[in-house]
Amino acid sequence: MPSNFITRELHKLIRLGLPILIAQLAQTAMGVVDTLMSGRYHADDLAAVAIGNSLSLPLLLFIAGVMIGNTAICSHHFGANRISKIGESTRQALWAGLPVALVAIILMLNADKILLLMDAPHHIAVISQHYLYGFALGFPALIGCLGVRTMAEGMGKTRPIMIIGICSFLLNIPLNYIFIYGKFGLPEMGGAGCGLASGIVLWLQLLMFIVFSLRKEFTATTLYERFSWPDWSGIGELFRIGLPIGGAMFVEVILFAAIALILAPMGSTIVGAHQIALNCSGMVFMVPLSLANAITIRVGHTLGQGKALKARAIAYTGIGFAILLAIVSAGTVFLSRDLIATAYTHDPGIQAMAASLLFFAAIYQLPDAIQVCANGALRAYKDTRIPLLLVIISCWLIGLPVGYSLGMTNYWGEPMGAKGFWIGLATGLSCASILLAARLSLISRRSVKKYQRA
């Protein structure tokens, strides 16, 4: 590929991906604020918010994954200059998202059964349940937010998404304070107030997205020009693309939850160190994740234009950039692992264990970046079902068994505990990167041949 092509495409990917990254960081910061503010109120509320977040996050990611299917659809329409079809696709995405959100709301409103199975102390379980009640109020708005957001992403309009994300973060802080401590005559809700604040922020976010989508640049989408009843072909297309994406996100987050539950009986030192390493790697992961979203948009636009060879080149340019960034991030995590551990805790035992786990977190930065960006490119090709299967195989049939055998059994020698599971994660992600890269190579070649024959 010519160097000027690579430079030009990298500039476009950065311009698309950087606002998405900042929006993702703002979303994560909201969770951090919930943790800090509930923890300052009472330790029980901190635990309750953590439990509530762990139960709502898989549902949130599943819904987001389903709706991401609309990004791929809209990006093809935008590339092919079928702008008026973007509005119709988004209206059908909203119809498709409503039943998914309804199921999530029902599960959140009945989470007391799950909390009972978790054997959480009754007073903490009550706070967690009320946290989920408040958060669930915002889930209908979540569908609207994701509908407009994925439409905008599909059109390559990512900067306003960043602004809305930052505004949502800033709104969350005073709302948390009001509901946690019961200001302006409202009842003092403690940690449960974080859930209500999050639910209200989602409705305010929807209002901001609506105002944003009324701008002149979206007029041609015809989003608000007419009402559409459910069209099963449009809904079916979204589900064919989006359900596997949501499924992949769900199985990945459940994997990390399963590992945390397995490690829980080993004591606070191991659990704390595992959480530190997980938190750090999760923050670093947002960089390739945002780049993957940008790759989906650019490759989708180019495929919509009928330029399959160029789309393939963009996909590999993006993955090459992801590899470069992963090498930098891996080196940074490796060299600063002791400093990172010290920043999280003063406990020397947790510091030492966390630093050792961060070594493995640094190792898997490279395969993690490759697999998420390859998956992002495959979404642009609307190829999501086989990638879901590959993720399940890599995570649950390879990564977790390897981690369990190394961490909990003496099959390979002395049980390694948390280190064994992190080796398992690195192994699973390495397999996923190889399988998804191979899948991308196959699908992109097929696409080139298809357009050459046309």
Q: Which two tokens stand for residue 440?
A: 């991308």
Predicted confidence at residue 134, as pLDDT, reads 94
pLDDT surpassing 80 at residue 454: no
Q: Of the candidates 355, 375, 348, 350, which has an alpha carbon nearest to the alpha carbon of residue 433?
A: 375
Predicted confidence at residue 26, as pLDDT, reads 93
pLDDT surpassing 80 at residue 264: no
189 in Cβ contact with 47 (< 8 Å):
no
Predicted confidence at residue 375, as pLDDT, reads 96
- For every residue of 27-38, DSSP letters joined together read HHHHHHHHHHHH
Tens-digit pLDDT profile for residues 160-202: 999 999 999 999 999 999 999 988 888 888 889 999 999 999 9
Confidence tier at 208 by pLDDT (50, 70, 90) = very high
Rank 129-133, 256-260, 261-265, 282-286 by mean pLDDT and report only the highest.
Answer: 129-133
Alpha carbon distance 322, 287 (integer Å)? 9
Predicted confidence at residue 384, as pLDDT, reads 95
Alpha carbon distance 179, 191 (integer Å)? 9
Span 385-405, average pLDDT: 94
Q: Which two tokens stand for residue 43?
A: 């330790």
Q: Which two tokens stand for residue 403?
A: 């981690």
Span 249-269, average pLDDT: 81
Predicted confidence at residue 1, as pLDDT, reads 63
Predicted confidence at residue 50, as pLDDT, reads 80
More confident residue, 205 or 255: 205
Give the DSSP letter of residue 413.
S
Q: Which two tokens stand for residue 65?
A: 């994954």
When the pLDDT of each residue in the chain is averaged and rounded to a whole number, the result is 90
In this prediction the pTM is 0.90
Tens-digit pLDDT profile for residues 217-230: 888 888 888 888 99
Alpha carbon distance 226, 208 (integer Å)? 21
pLDDT surpassing 80 at residue 271: no
437 in Cβ contact with 418 (< 8 Å):
no
Could you state, in order of their start, the residue ranges of all structural domains in the chain? Answer: 1-230, 243-454
pLDDT surpassing 90 at residue 394: yes
149 in Cβ contact with 209 (< 8 Å):
yes
Span 330-352, average pLDDT: 85
Tens-digit pLDDT profile for residues 181-191: 988 888 888 88
For the CA atoms of 159, 62, 436, 445, what is the dihedral angle to 10 degrees?
-70
Predicted confidence at residue 275, as pLDDT, reads 77
230 φ, ψ (degrees, to nearest 5): -55, 130
pLDDT surpassing 80 at residue 135: yes
Span 335-342, average pLDDT: 88
Span 132-136, average pLDDT: 94
**CA–CA distance from 34 to each of 28, 62, 131, 178, 403 (Å)?**
10, 21, 11, 13, 31
Predicted confidence at residue 408, as pLDDT, reads 85
Alpha carbon distance 25, 98 (integer Å)? 26
Tens-digit pLDDT profile for residues 72-120: 999 999 999 999 899 999 999 999 999 999 999 999 998 887 777 767 6
Sequence length of the chain is 454
Percentage of the residues of the chain whose pLDDT score is greater than 70: 98
Alpha carbon distance 24, 292 (integer Å)? 13
Q: Of the candidates 181, 182, 162, 173, which has an alpha carbon nearest to the alpha carbon of residue 201?
A: 173
Tens-digit pLDDT profile for residues 439-450: 999 999 999 988
Could you count the other beta carbons within 10 Å of the beta carbon of residue 227?
A: 6
Predicted confidence at residue 260, as pLDDT, reads 79
Q: Which two tokens stand for residue 25?
A: 């960081």
Give the DSSP letter of residue 1.
-
Tens-digit pLDDT profile for residues 369-385: 999 999 999 999 999 99
